[in-house]
Amino acid sequence: MTSTDSVPMKDSIEQTLQHIRTAESVFVPKDVFEKLYLNPERPVAGRLRQTVGNPTPLGLIGFLLAGTPNAIASMGWRGAGGNGGALLTVFIFFGGVLQIIGALGNWMLGNTFSSTVFFTFGGFWLSQGTALQPFYPIGAAYSAAGDNAEGMTTPGFYATTGFFFLCMAVLTYMFAVCAVRVNVILFAGLHFLTVGFGCFTGVYWNLAEGNHEMAARLQKVSNLGRSEFGLVDFAVAHALQVGGAFVFALCAIVWYLLFSELLESVDFPIALPVGDLSQVVPGMKRRRASSDPDKTK
């Protein structure tokens, strides 16, 4: 074989290698990336995004399978209720563990925002589930006799628990503001959840002051409540309340978001829109680049 004959062969090999490199470098549009990962696309090192699957649907499933039956039980549909006892393992393993796994997956992929959201709500559901465990006497410190059940009905316990839900409301609102850079669906859902946490804060603070009537009204509005912290059941006597639209809107939004991601994961010919906001609200780097075109990254 002459050197002249080796030139076309060399070009053919290089062309083949170029095709392989191109095939491995899968381009994902910004709107699709933010739909899949619920996180603005940021440059990260490594090739994990081309190697492992998308963990975001797993986290959404964990939230939905804990949140949806909890909302239904709080309204007493078809006799559901029982202080959420039947959902204890669901809160821990679906709401808690499954969301933590989804959070770890997003964290390893460099998706800071979505991993933070899943870690937060995974921890929330774990705390809800473990609060129902008898070996966590969370009310004993509020009872002079050390009685857990008695302590969970004291003003001090109610007031303290209210501050936890207030902090959750503030944190969820921060998530909602950040979601302006993601999509409309996530932005709306987090706002509904913020209102729900705010109402639940009012439930506990009114119970701490002995205002049971107002607490009942607020819990009907939030429809997030169970009796996991000793809250009396009269607040969930009516199945359909106008204020219950908050929790149903939240669940409907998250179910829609999950379905859109599952369709995208199998390259379904029909894509559900989620209202991409990445191009509507440009990031800080894009703003700086537009104001100073000569400035390099």
Residue 107: which domain range?
53-137+144-278
DSSP category for residue 130? H
In a domain, 40, yes or no: no
In degrees to the nearest 10, what's the CA dihedral of 230, 231, 232, 238? Answer: -140
Tell me which residues of the chain have a pLDDT lower than 50.
16-27, 45, 224-244, 296
Residues 6+ apart with CB under 8 A from 120: 171, 175
At what angle are helices 155-178 and 112-131 packed, to 10 degrees? 160
Q: What is the pLDDT of residue 260?
A: 93
In a domain, 77, yes or no: yes
Q: What is the pLDDT of residue 196?
A: 82
Query: pTM for this structure?
Result: 0.76
pLDDT digits (tens, 9 = 90+) for 114-170: 999 999 999 999 998 998 887 888 888 888 888 888 888 888 998 999 999 999 999
Q: What is the pLDDT of residue 121?
A: 96
Q: What is the pLDDT of residue 227?
A: 43
pLDDT digits (tens, 9 = 90+) for 17-31: 444 444 344 445 555
In a domain, 21, yes or no: no
The number of domains in the chain is: 1
In a domain, 292, yes or no: no
In a domain, 14, yes or no: no
In a domain, 192, yes or no: yes
In a domain, 223, yes or no: yes
Residues 6+ apart with CB under 8 A from 167: none
Q: What is the pLDDT of residue 149?
A: 82
Q: What is the pLDDT of residue 244?
A: 47
In a domain, 73, yes or no: yes
At what angle are helices 56-75 and 112-131 packed, to 10 degrees? 40
Residues 6+ apart with CB under 8 A from 4: none
Q: What is the pLDDT of residue 204?
A: 81
